Amino acid sequence: MLNIALAQLNYTVGDFSANTTAIISHMRRAAAASADIAVFSELAICGYYPGDLLEDSSFLARCDAALDEIIRTSAELPELVTVVGTARRNNGPGKPLHNSLLAIRNGQIIAEYYKQLLPTYGIFDEYRHFEPGPQTACTLSVREHRVGFMICEDGWNQPGLDYKVNPFDALKQATPELVISINASPSDIGKRKKRHSTISKACQETQLPILFVNQTGGQDQLVFDGASFAVTPDQGVVFEASQFEEDFQCIGFDAGAFMKDGLPLLASALVDLPVEEFTRRQILLGLRDYARRCGFSKVVVGSSGGIDSALTLALAAQALGAENVIAITMPSVWSSEGSVSDSVDLCKNLGIRLHTHPVADLVKQFSTGFEHSFDTPLRGLPLENLQARIRGTILMEYSNSFGALLLTTGNKSEISVGYCTLYGDTNGGLGLIGDLYKTEVYALSRHINQQAGRELIPEPIISKPPSAELAPDQKDTDSLPPYEVQDEILKWHLEGDRMPPAEAKAARNHVQGLQTSEEGRQLVARILAMVARNEYKRRQAPPLIRVRSRAFGSGRQMPLAAKY
């Protein structure tokens, strides 16, 4: 029987010391558990994804030095085969590097494989730095078991529609008993189910059992959920590691079957997390790692008394602890009494310290200065935006003074159509809910209350009509259609078939229903035009934690100066 140690770890891009320490620690742990193979994920040594750091010679030198340390350690564990991902130089024509898988044993690299399929869609841009590997299989005999290898995207070209090459074709001819796939597969709604479906189909078509090893943790906008798994042709998925956390598991393999503690692993019903719980965990992990990697222990949020800032505060408190979250309420002459009292109740429920910094006098001073300088009063939209920009300045003052990361509170519905103020409520270092539509903001808020068994987010915040409170009696519906209508248009337009099938169908049917009337067609056209003309705002907005299949940022690249 082949004993395999699966190391599902949380790596940091460029932190070679920490990454190498973690890899070596788990190599020793695998050897102590009598494992024959220890498997780590794609680009584990340097972290995924380094971007243009791969063009930095010192970065590559440190990557080489880290690999050398791992190779030296392997000599101390002569029976263990370590399978790990890293960047390797390309000695032939083409791009300067390969995205590589190395098999290391007893101080030697005994097998080397280069990723053949380099994704350039969505959030990926691997062909920018890497040259595809040759169209050959890589196999290795370990304790009389022939093991084949591949890297992430190599296993996703079923049935060969996206690339001219299908690495499984060569792999089948090499007749391995088992395929080990190392991955850096980011998480989004529906992704786990898609992984299971895609890899299971490949497994059935090739009759090759597959072990899919993923990483976990947050890196910039991306969150990796782990959830490594094993799949066999006859049974489908028979094993899955933890979601959203590091994990170390030893499983056996013999005669086409995976085993645990000497017993065959059998197919079992794998249930997806409810979408709200998935979203909560995704955001919490993303915030924790973003703050930690960027050197922040505290965050600050502008508390308006509305649902967006309330949810942001609740998530921040869960991720970092209430003692590390600061809220600031900044009432103006248009702020309702409820906006302040709701902020007080919210922060009391969450155990968060709330500061008050009124802005009415500052707004008046700016307005007076504007009129004196330009001989015209400041009113309408410029006056509304002034209030938001003063608040944004105050929040940045606090961030600069006390070293707290400012979290922006915009949601995807508002960011999509530009219902936000540049240098105002868009200020910040990270957006927690920027990939959640407004209807999802409400659903996640209710979920958090249900999970807590009490009102962490006060019901008046959830039930009151949303308002920016920058003008008298202002409501979001003064400028936008109801979010239940707008969100379906946005899903259809921005994500389409990238969504899970049921969600994509619902959005498509909703828009088709609208387009049966002239009023509906005009509404759809208006929303799409608003999305198009506000790209410049999104380009300047903070990064946001990706939750859905197509998030603003690297996942949707649109021109600024274009007519469409």
List domains and CATH numbers for the chain: 2-272 (3.60.110.10), 277-475 (3.40.50.620)
- Radius of gyration (Cα) for the chain, nearest Å? 26
Going by the annotation, the residues of the binding site for L-glutamine are 121, 185, 191
**159 confidence band (pLDDT: 50, 70, 90):** low
Res 103 pLDDT > 80 = yes
Res 340 pLDDT > 60 = yes
Q: Which of 42, 240, 488, 535 is catalytic?
A: 42
Lowest mean pLDDT among 63-67, 177-181, 537-541: 537-541
Q: Which of 152, 203, 347, 420 is catalytic?
A: 152
pTM (predicted TM-score): 0.94
What integer pLDDT is reported at residue 472 of this predicted model?
62
Q: What are phi and psi of 390, to 5 degrees?
A: -65, -45
- For the chain, give the percent of residues with pLDDT over 90: 86
Res 316 pLDDT > 60 = yes
Lowest mean pLDDT among 301-305, 443-447, 462-466: 462-466
Residue with tokens 């209430």: 322
Average pLDDT, the chain: 93
Q: CA angle 154-495-520, nearest 5°? A: 160
The per-residue DSSP string of 84-138 comes to EEEEEE--SSSSSEEEEEEEEETTEEEEEEE-S----STT--GGGTBPPPPS---
Res 471 pLDDT > 60 = no
Q: Does residue 46 have an active-site annotation? A: no
**272 confidence band (pLDDT: 50, 70, 90):** confident
What is the average pLDDT across 346-368? Answer: 95
What integer pLDDT is reported at residue 126 of this predicted model?
93
Q: Are 139 and 176 in contact (CB under 8 A)?
A: yes
Res 391 pLDDT > 90 = yes
Tell how strand 210-213 and strand 229-232 pair up: antiparallel
For residue 398, give the H/E element and its range: helix 381-402
Going by the annotation, the residues of the binding site for ATP are 302-309, 409
The whole-angstrom separation of Cα 133 and Cα 491 is 37
Lowest mean pLDDT among 216-225, 299-308, 476-485: 476-485
What integer pLDDT is reported at residue 465 of this predicted model?
79
What integer pLDDT is reported at residue 475 of this predicted model?
66
The whole-angstrom separation of Cα 349 and Cα 473 is 28
Distances (CA, A) of 470 to 212, 306, 389, 425: 51, 13, 11, 12
For residue 380, the one-letter residue type is G
Neighbour tally for 498: CB within 10 Å: 17
Q: Are 285 and 218 in contact (CB under 8 A)?
A: yes
Write out pLDDT tens, residues 402-435.
Answer: 999 999 999 999 999 999 999 999 999 999 999 9
Q: Does residue 152 have an active-site annotation? A: yes
What integer pLDDT is reported at residue 165 of this predicted model?
86
Res 560 pLDDT > 90 = no
What integer pLDDT is reported at residue 219 of this predicted model?
95
Distances (CA, A) of 342 to 42, 309, 325: 46, 11, 17
Q: Which of 46, 63, 115, 420 is catalytic?
A: 115
Going by the annotation, the residues of the binding site for deamido-NAD(+) are 385, 414, 537
The whole-angstrom separation of Cα 200 and Cα 143 is 26
Q: Does residue 194 have an active-site annotation? A: no
Going by the annotation, the residues of the binding site are 121, 185, 191, 302-309, 385, 409, 414, 537
Angle of helix 501-514 relative to helix 518-533, nearest 10 degrees, comes to 120
Tell me the two tokens of residue 510: 């909703």
Q: Are 232 and 209 in contact (CB under 8 A)?
A: yes
